[in-house]
Structure 1
């Protein structure tokens, strides 16, 4: 586990980005400080600026594409020192999802993550299937040979014998476990549906190894069929549940609710913020829309709209107001 963590240190370096403050102590050519670029650095190196700092930059120094990106960096209203953020998310906070995406683009990565891109359509369909999460994860683990088969456990030095615990005739690898083992073949014939055996086979295997229980193919068939019945029952209950309609709700008595939303056009880097303030009776007290140019991302567009909503509440000196929007990342930030 520690080796796996240590192997990602280069990934963390590639994903870190300086959030520019007052511009001091940032190397323009060497440091990562420009959002919306693969490595967060200038497209071309400017030799005479190797040791220059941000405050020494003059107009007309950079290429047009770099200048445009620099001008889209949002400026803080209150000066602050530089600090490191995670470049994979608009909020600057680290997430496993964005790190995983970045890992797929890296060269010399520890595993063949590029292979996963070839099966992107398959994985997209897999995660959208109406199945239990643990079943989808099991299928994903099978595709990457991540199951604790005897062969994998022997490779990691956890067991000495890699023979199949079911039949004892061959090495327990993925193909043997799900296709070649005589017990598995018998289970397929009992079920007549190959796609439904994965969970039952693993369940029977775990019971045999950990609980010293011996399951026949009929036992596994019954287990799988009972499990399918249970899932069907859960699905039918889901279908009869009444979905609550999402409608705007009035704030508590004496409070003001300010709703915000942002729209972003990435082709021209322009966003529009919409703000509406209502009282506890739902009457509109104030509404406005505003255009912002040189916006860097959809996250920035939502963040600008949220900031305008907060400033509206403060400037109107409303004693108790609620900010509401559909951008969860911005709200949490």
Structure 2
């Protein structure tokens, strides 16, 4: 639980930096985390069990790794940041990766880069099977399409 809080507040801090150029000192971030945990402990009446999510593929074999990706886009400066979170089937954090991108033309391109980073991470970790989850329907549809996409996204998607 504490790991999730840390990830959420760190991600929030990163978004503030990308969008507002506002940095949060480490001490303030640590204080925020402690305050939030105390607040949660005060409202908790019973101990919560960790949630485990198992997804079955078509053969019925339980997959062991989920990679979630998301991205933030700064249109004014044509920059973006993408983040990847890798968890095993017991929802234990296995890897966390953030990447800064320069000269990005659109939020769709950012999501495509994040998806490409997820694929590269699967390969570099030597994972035989992984579920990759993102939130850009446009990019996912273009990845699944058999038609050649001649847009900026197409060049990134061809690498995927």
Normalising by structure 1, we get a TM-score of 0.25
- Cα distance in 2 for partners of 1:261, 1:251 equals 20
1:287 matched to 2:110? The reply is no
Could you tell me how far 1:255 is from its partner in structure 2? Answer: 2.2
Unaligned runs of 5+ in 1: 1-246
Matched residue SS, 2:108: helix
Q: Please report the RMSD computed on the Cα atoms of aligned residues, expressed in angstroms.
A: 1.9
Q: How far did 1:251 drift?
A: 3.9
- Is 1:311 aligned with 2:120? yes
Higher strand share: 2
User: Larger C-alpha radius of gyration, 1 or 2?
Assistant: 1
Q: For residues 287 and 302 of structure 1, what CA distance do their matches in structure 2 show?
A: 17
Which of 66, 69, 73 is matched with 1:260 structurally?
69
Aligned residue in 1 for 2:84? 275
1:302 to 2:111 alignment:
yes
Question: Per-residue CA shift, 1:36-63, capped at 9, x if unaligned?
Answer: xxxxxxxxxxxxxxxxxxxxxxxxxxxx
Equivalent residue pairs, number: 87
CA apart distance, 1:326: 0.6
TM alignment of 1:1-333, pairs within 5 A? 249-252=53-56, 253-333=62-142
Shift, 1:249, TM fit: 4.0
Structure 1 position 248, deviation (Å): 9.0
Contact 1:264/1:301 (<8 A) preserved = yes
Alignment partners' CA distance in 1, 2:52 and 2:141: 20
- Give the Cα–Cα distance (whole angstroms) in 1 for the partners of residues 54 and 74 of structure 2: 31
* CA shift in 2, pair 1:278/1:251, >3 Å: farther
C-alpha separation in 2, matches of 1:248 and 1:330: 27
Give how far 1:250 is off: 4.3
Q: Report the TM-score, using the length of structure 2 for normalisation.
A: 0.51
Contact 1:275 1:288 in 2 (8 A): yes
Distance in 2 separating the partners of 1:248 and 1:306: 24
Q: Does 1 or 2 have the higher relative contact order (CA < 8 Å, sep 6+)?
A: 2
Contact persistence 2:52–2:90 (CA under 8 A)? no
Q: Deviations over 1:202-242 (max 9, x none)?
A: xxxxxxxxxxxxxxxxxxxxxxxxxxxxxxxxxxxxxxxxx
